[in-house]
Amino acid sequence: MRSVGLGPATLVLLPVLAGLAALLSRLGGLGHQRALPLAVGRAVLQLAAVGLVVGFALSSYAGTLAFLVLMAGVATFTSGRRLRGLPGAWARAGAAIVVPATPVLVLLLLTRSVPANPATLLPLGGILVGGAMSATTLAGRRVLAELRGRWGEVEAAMVVGLTPRQAYREIAGRAGADALLPALDQTRTVGLVTLPGTFVGMVLGGAPPLRAAAFQLVVLVCLLAVEAAAIVLVTELVAAAAPFPRPSL
């Protein structure tokens, strides 16, 4: 099979596609026309850096652990920035990401569901942290938006005797539920609509398709558990921050 590479045509195509995405964002009023090319530029630099250091990270358990900690730190920073208006946003985002992902990864190792080697731990840990980050960001922002839009109801609930935390839970308790839909849809349609990256990567690397499918199933179920826990946890952590000024996004 011909390998994927950054040939001359690819080097032209990728900036064109990034520019097209930015143009569509501007024409559609999405407001991300500056963020899109910047995100692509960051991806280029970050993947280049990862390509240089991942060999070190995979050479020992200490290197793998250090890289996983770095992943968790970057995920925390990223989600924390998105939760503007929430007191202690970074600490709460970090808890919602690390607390669900860590025990799931440990359980996989204790039950020997996955090989306990750096080549497995690093990508699997990254997948779980990334899923928890996405769920935390989407759910946290949705909860904060719900509180902002229904702030009069929050105040009315407190007037009738509810504590701020109870009022927040009453008004926005299920607001973050939609953050689980991408993981649900991916699991429901796996193999029918998409072939997930883990499966494709293993097959391209020479693994038997059935073995790749089994590992992909493990990843999908773990992601569901991690993301559901992250959504519940970030919702509770937002409520635990009560009272705080009306959130602004």
pLDDT digits (tens, 9 = 90+) for 5-30: 567 787 788 889 989 999 998 889 88
As a whole number, the mean pLDDT across the chain is 87
Predicted pLDDT at 102: 96
Q: What is the model's pTM?
A: 0.80
Predicted pLDDT at 207: 75
Higher pLDDT, 221 or 248: 221
Report whether pLDDT(215) > 90: no
In three state form, how does the secondary structure of the chain look? CCCCCCCHHHHHHHHHHHHHHHHHHHHCCCCCCCHHHHHHHHHHHHHHHHHHHHHHHCCCHHHHHHHHHHHHHHHHHHHHHHCCCCCCHHHHHHHHHHHHHHHHHHHHHHCCCCCCCHHHHHHHHHHHHHHHHHHHHHHHHHHHHHHHHCHHHHHHHHHCCCCHHHHHHHHHCCHHHHHHHHHHHHHHHECCCECCHHHHHHHHCCCCHHHHHHHHHHHHHHHHHHHHHHHHHHHHHHHHCCCCCCCCC
Band of pLDDT at residue 1, cut at 50, 70 and 90: very low
How far apart CA 238 and CA 139 sit, in angstroms, is: 10
Predicted confidence (pLDDT) per residue in 142-151, tens digit: 999 998 888 8
Are 129 and 68 in contact by the 8 Å Cβ rule? The answer is: yes
Residue type (1 letter), 50: V
Predicted confidence (pLDDT) per residue in 98-122, tens digit: 999 999 999 999 998 888 888 889 8
Predicted pLDDT at 5: 58
Stretch 158-174: mean pLDDT: 87
Stretch 149-173: mean pLDDT: 88
Report whether pLDDT(193) > 80: no
